[in-house]
Amino acid sequence: MTTGTGTVITYREAMKQAIREALASDPRVFVMGEDVGKYGGCYAVTKGLLDEFGEERIRDTPLSESAFVGAGVGAAVAGMRPIVEIMTVNFSLLAADQIVNSAATLSHMSGGQFHVPLVIRMATGAGRQLAAQHSHSLECWYAHVPGLRVVEPATIDDARGVLRPALACPDPVLIFEPNSLYNMEGELTGAAATADLSTARVRREGKDVTLVTYGASLWRCMAAAEQLAAGGVEAEVVDLRSLRPLDDATILASVRRTRRVVIVDEGWRTGGLAAEVAMRVVEQGFYDLDAPIGRVCSEEVPIPYPKHLEDAALPSVERIVTAVRRTMGDAE
């Protein structure tokens, strides 16, 4: 399906196109993970690639995250460009030793003699009734770790474009893919070619308040901004895209324009990424603020299975609008 300026595809297809391009253009690239081959991936991102590239390039692995992520680390050090798929961020905890103690540290501990050009893809977040062991947003845990780069594409262009710079990076890159966005359709444009691993993007301009967010919450913030505009409040929406490193300059430039900020994070409030962003604003832009910083995060519970409880646990458009109005000084 095409439009006047681009092609309309799903987030899933954008990721698949990026993987296919990488496999076709570089013989060092291969994909491995649980069910990535015959089954086509838990979310069908790699469906069909086994037939195109064969078992040497698309490798089904045993159900052992520690084993196959460790194999990916070794392959990367040896000169390959592995793309490792972990079904969900919750399962990445079984490979945390390989990610945090090996992949993130080897370059530093070798004095730069060894690099780990490893890409790890994993689904994240809630919204599909997959219950507590498959639905959490643990990105901030990995964003805490020096030696890792952490990105979360929220748009079709970024889903299509982020893999190329990730594979070119000498450091391990974790790509978090919100599972609620896989079916999202959008227009693929030339902006996919300019995706990078370190900068945020202003997705909507405004003058009254800044909404800082990432991942699936971007679209809740965009919907909230539309509601607020109907009431005369123009919200600027900043999509972080990169969680490590954070793009302080873009965040602070927006705060200087609007003088108010609300941070929307699908992770938990306590010790979360929203707290880190808020503190950086305080440290570097306190005197630009005209109101206390607001936060909208997931409720401090394991993500529930029932649909109505899952929805209640996540940041919603209504909660974002309420937080903005509070920041603007309106009575609740």
Could you count the other beta carbons within 10 Å of the beta carbon of residue 222? 18
Tell me if 254 sits within 8 A of 221, measured CB to CB: no
Strand residues in 37-195 grouped as ranges (E): 58-60, 81-88, 119-124, 149-151, 173-178, 185-188
Catalytic sites, residue numbers:
65, 134
Helix 217-230 and helix 317-327: axis angle, to 10°?
Answer: 60
Token representation of residue 243: 């969680």
Residue 309's alpha-carbon distances to 75, 136, 234, 313, in angstroms, are 42, 14, 31, 6
Element (H, E) at 70: helix 65-77
Tell me if 83 sits within 8 A of 29, measured CB to CB: yes
Name the DSSP letter for residue 106: H
Residue 296 and residue 312: Cα distance in Å, rounded? 12
- What's the gap between Cα 49 and its chain centre? 23
